[in-house]
């Protein structure tokens, strides 16, 4: 399932606890270690109760075996199960209960900070495209994270999200978390500078948006992980045909 090798990288599914621990260490490095957290090495894991319920996807450098990226997937049979998702802890997703079709939540996506090769993200999406086709998935969703919790540095990005990429009203998440930045309301008069907006946009979120993805009208302020995140959804049928063809080619 999902195994894929292209160029210098390969995509694999975690098969044992050691694989998952390796992914949890990379997640810690990306989400916690970047802040200079002094935790002892043996405690340097980003782990939660969702890990045991998810499929963990690993991307390795073929030559060295180094783990260069990872993410986890939680499969749902449809919107009736949306309350079981990790995202539902932070967003009121009751409107998505009416979604008919298989869904997959993509979570904890991270790339090793020393590996800024765009082929890694491209390969991850190729593997996801293969999984979507094989399993008949109709929606991908998750939380897309901005580094840090300073909203001012991301105002152009949030203004662009408000202008062009808000979720359709029938799916729009409502506020649930106690600490949020309601950017659609706060920045309703701001005109985004496209260059600054795209420069500040996380790579994963840029990929979602290029495929027709949409976001919540507010960002959750996550002090624990030191991020701002927006709920992100992508209806598979909305992906432009040319883009879908490229994704399938990457996963072939």
Q: Span 27-56, mean pLDDT?
A: 81
Q: Span 18-22, mean pLDDT?
A: 96
Distances in Å between the Cα of 123 and the Cα atoms of 128, 151, 193, 237 are: 9, 31, 30, 21
pLDDT (tens digit per residue) in 182-218: 999 999 999 999 999 999 999 999 999 999 999 999 9
* Domains of the chain with CATH codes: 4-250 (3.40.630.30)
- 8 Å CB contact between 236 and 139: yes
pLDDT over threshold 60, residue 77:
yes
Residue 149, C-beta contacts closer than 8 angstroms, at least 6 positions apart: 221, 222, 223, 226, 227, 228
Q: What is the distance between the alpha carbons of residues 9 and 67, in angstroms, rounded to a whole number?
A: 10
Please tell me the pTM assigned to this model.
Answer: 0.93
- 8 Å CB contact between 121 and 194: no
Mean pLDDT (the chain) is 93
CA R_g for the chain: 18
């Amino acid at each position: 399932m999902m195994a894929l090798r292209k160029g210098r990288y390969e995509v694999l599914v975690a098969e044992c606890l050691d694989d998952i621990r390796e992914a949890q260490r990379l997640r810690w490095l990306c989400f916690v270690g970047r802040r200079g957290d002094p935790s002892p090495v043996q405690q340097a894991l980003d782990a939660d109760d969702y890990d045991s319920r998810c499929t963990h996807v690993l991307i390795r450098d073929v030559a060295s075996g180094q783990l260069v990226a990872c993410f986890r997937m939680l499969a749902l049979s449809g919107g009736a199960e949306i309350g079981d998702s990790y995202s539902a802890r932070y967003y009121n997703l009751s409107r998505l209960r009416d979604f008919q079709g298989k869904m997959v939540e993509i979570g904890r996506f991270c790339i090793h900070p020393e590996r800024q090769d765009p082929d890694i993200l491209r390969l991850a999406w190729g593997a996801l495209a293969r999984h979507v086709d094989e399993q008949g998935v109709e929606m991908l969703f998750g939380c897309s994270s901005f580094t840090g919790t300073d909203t001012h540095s991301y105002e152009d990005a949030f203004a662009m999200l408000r202008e062009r990429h808000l979720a359709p009203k029938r799916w729009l998440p409502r506020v649930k978390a106690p600490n949020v930045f309601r950017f659609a309301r706060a920045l309703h008069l701001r005109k985004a500078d496209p260059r600054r907006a795209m420069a500040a946009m996380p790579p994963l979120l840029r990929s979602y948006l290029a495929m027709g993805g949409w976001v919540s009208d507010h960002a959750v302020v996550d002090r624990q992980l030191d991020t701002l995140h927006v709920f992100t959804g992508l209806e598979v049928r909305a992906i432009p045909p040319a883009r879908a063809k490229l994704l399938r080619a990457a996963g072939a």
